[in-house]
Chain A
Amino acid sequence: MLNPLTEDASPSVSPLRPPSALRAVEVLGASVVYPAADAPVQALQDIRLTIAQGEFISLIGPSGCGKTTLLRVIADLEPISGGQVLVNGVSPREARLARAYGYVFQAPALFPWRTVLANVMLPLQIQGRDREAAQAIAREHLGRVGLTQFEKKYPWQLSGGMQQRVSIARALSFEPRILMMDEPFGALDEITRDGLNEQLQQLWCRERRTVVFVTHSISEAVYLSTRIVVMSPRPGRIVKVIESTLPDERHLGLRDTPEFMQMAHEVREALSDGHH
């Protein structure tokens, strides 16, 4: 791939592009077109988005707006038809091979034949860590999501919310700089979802990992994000990027404050603007 940025041996010390070290993700006019019988489908059209390190970015929009496609493009799960995408200054593929990100799918995708602990150990095992070290790290991460007592259980013995927490621990077990989440709580009930939102927010606040989060819940996006990217379908595009005015440390009660409601209103406006 011809890409001037990748030729930088150490972009972090390059005097020409000082901010690039702080850029976790750069989407430079990316588009995705699916071939179809009658007319090709424009899943993403000329997307431009820069995500700085440590940001919590939510991609929100109605079905078919390409929010998941955009996340998958960044994660190298989907090829782009045009433009360029950089993750940590390199192509998504190189970033993936360098294990730059952890990915949480909508379903927990835990392996039923592995215990909870062994599931969290999976990526470490793939990376060739020795068993003892992997076990210690996996225990540590299970602790962070509050599931220490469940390490010997099998996934089918856990509730849906617990399973998704295991999958988050698994995504974070190898300490990736970037966490990508594709509607991770979409299949859960609202009470469980609130609890997990709170945990995720605290986790982000503690560790300041870059998070790219796909959701179709306005309150979830406002509660979690430092910036909200509102998208719109046919063709999939970004309508508006909304900077959060909320403080970094948040609690669930914040959702009843006028500030929060103002932001939620702004997102809702942007969503309905995108529809026309």
Chain B
Amino acid sequence: MDTIDPRSDPKSGGRLLPLTATVLVIVLLWYALTVWLNGPGAIERVLAPKGPWSWQDLVLSSWTLQRPVLPAPHQIAADFWSSLVDWPIDSPRNLLFHVAVTGQSTLLGFAMGTALGAVLAVLIVHSRTLDRALLPWVVASQTIPVLAIAPIVLVILGSLGFSGVLPKAVIAMYLCFFPVAVAAVQGLRSPQRIETELMHTYAASAWQTLWLLRLPAAWPFIFPALRVGVAAGLVGAMVAELPTGAQAGLGSRLLTGSYYGNTVQIWSALLMASLLGLLLSSAMAALEKWALRHRSRT
């Protein structure tokens, strides 16, 4: 997971050049790879029937093949752009429609996961018994693959009459709560002895100590976890769309793309999912920056 150091050099100018160079190298390799992977298909389906062909023909047709093994970047970009501008926003052919569906369950699951993580952390910090009783289970829960949990949750919640966004949000929550809980426990325990003793001399209640000392001290620990958590929640929401054969959502878009061998669609959905993940975690990073704007940078 990304752990951007908030104290790193705020000027990104020094990083722009290597970043651009990396992207350029990746794109070049990508185009080379498309020729290698799509070449045989292009020869078989396009070039061979027409007769003799040159290597230029091979390269060109590898980059424009209908159902390529690996679509070229410009094919993905074209499909991506077309889905945004050629279709109304409420059409299942528009990727933003799927963003709305997946984003909704991601955000709901993220909110639920954050709340669950926070409550667990408060309980764990305030009770030695719960610390011993809960923490191992919290850790163990993450060893069960989400792919195995998802169908079970969907079946159970479905039989209880829940459908739509909630079951998907529950699976997103399952991935969200863990980083939040672990970071919150660490953060709530971060006040030094002198600070808790200070609250003690003021005869502050446990609730006041939590609210006025532990929680504010915990934010710098919690925010990075929220950034990780929201990205994990997106994974959860997309995975939750797979076993149901859902009609909408970025996950279902991946699934239908693979059903019909429409690799370009898979890749545009993947691109959209990455952009959504990036947007969500940058939103959390911006929130963090705003919330912690007065903290010292030492």
Q: Interface residues, chain A, CB within 8 Å of chain B?
A: 75-77, 96-99, 101-103, 105, 107, 109, 111-115, 122-123, 125-127, 154-156
Contacts and interface: CB of A to CB of B under 8 A. Distances in A.
Contact of A109 (B195, B208, B212, B296): B195
Contact of A96 (B192, B201, B208): B201
Chain B contact surface mostly? helix
A126 B201 contact: no
Chain A contact surface mostly? loop
A213 B24 CA distance: 67
A97 B201 CA distance: 8
B201 A101 contact: yes
Given A75-B201, A101-B201, A156 B216 contact: no
Interface of B: 192, 194-195, 197-204, 208, 212-213, 216-217, 219, 294-296, 298
B81 to A, nearest CB: 45
Given A77-B201, A107-B194, A126-B202, 5 more contacts: A96-B201, A98-B203, A109-B198, A111-B212, A111-B213
A101 B295 CA distance: 30
Nearest to B215: A113
Given A96-B203, A101-B201, A122-B202, A113 B216 contact: yes
B200 A77 contact: yes
Contacts of A155: 296
B198 A126 contact: no
Contacts of B194: 105, 107, 109
A99 B203 contact: yes
Given A103-B198, A105-B194, A126 B204 contact: yes
A113 B197 contact: no
B202 A112 contact: no
A156 B296 CA distance: 6
B295 A122 contact: no
B233 to A, nearest CB: 27
A112 B295 contact: yes
A156 B208 contact: no
B191 to A, nearest CB: 9
A76 B213 CA distance: 20
A266 B208 CA distance: 47
Contacts of B198: 103, 105, 109
